[in-house]
Copies of this chain bind each other. A is one copy, B any other.
């Protein structure tokens, strides 16, 4: 199916994958082989800009884009990307995880009716007088979730 073979392997990849090149680099840097599945998922995730997706959502998008990827691979990939620092996992509701393409310091509005997440830039929330963590523990992350609703 793919013109994988012959000629100059590196040059060929670089040519046909011009827009993917940066993504390929990011994957390689993370120690992940740039497979068809990972590249497609990376495009779906990172090209549209900041977003928050669930595994099922991403799977639907892949299907809609005529890309065959199993749900198992969706989960594998989301976790590997998270591990590699390309994504951040956000837990807000019991039973489902969101994966956030914005890995910079920021917080969230959570719209309860729609299950939708919206970024709040890190500078827009100031946490004053955060208490010392208990004996010998280090803060690994601080999450602020502002739950909002439209009904009263």
- Interface residues of A, Cβ cutoff 8 Å to B: 89, 91-97, 109, 111-112, 118, 120, 124-131, 133-134, 136-150, 152
Contacts and interface: CB of A to CB of B under 8 A. Distances in A.
A109 B126 contact: no
**Chain A interface, DSSP helix/strand/loop, else mixed:** strand
Contacts of A136: 150
A112 B140 contact: yes
B149 A138 contact: yes
B120 A131 contact: yes
* 10 smallest beta-carbon distances between A and B, as pairs: A126-B128, A137-B148, A133-B148, A141-B147, A94-B97, A143-B145, A140-B149, A124-B131, A140-B147, A91-B94
B127 A126 contact: yes
A69 B129 CA distance: 43
B152 A147 contact: no
Contact of A93 (B91, B138, B147): B91
Contacts of A137: 109, 111, 148-150
11 contacts: A94-B95, A94-B96, A95-B95, A109-B133, A111-B137, A124-B129, A124-B131, A127-B127, A137-B148, A138-B149, A139-B147
Contact of A143 (B131, B138, B147, B149): B147
Contact of A127 (B92, B125, B131, B150): B125
